[in-house]
A = this chain, B = another copy of it.
Amino acid sequence: MLTKEELEEYSAEAIEIYLDHISIDCVVFGFHEGQMKVLMLKSKNEDGWQLPGGFVQKREPIDVAANRILATRTGIDEVFLQQFHVFGAPDRNRQHNEMYADMVAKEKNFFAHRFISIGYYALVDFFDAIPTPDEFSEICTWRDLNDLPPFLLDHELIFTTALDTLRLQLSYQPIGYNLMPKEFTMPELQKLYETILGKKLDRRNFQRRMLGFGILNKLPQTRKGGAHKAPYLYSFDLENYQAALKEGLKSGW
Contacts and interface: CB of A to CB of B under 8 A. Distances in A.
Contact of A19 (B21, B89, B118, B171): B21
Copies in the complex: 2
Given A61-B88, A116-B56, A253 B20 contact: no
A130 interface: no
Contact of A22 (B21, B83, B251): B21
A212 to B, nearest CB: 14
A19 B114 CA distance: 9
B171 A253 contact: yes
Given A22-B21, A252-B170, A61 B90 contact: yes
Interface in A78-92: 83, 85-86, 88-90
Contacts of A21: 19-22
Contacts of A88: 56, 61-63, 65, 118
Contacts of A90: 59-61
A233 interface: no
A168 interface: yes
A252 B116 contact: no
A234 interface: no
Contacts of A252: 168, 170-172
Given A21-B19, A197-B253, A253-B197, A86 B171 contact: no
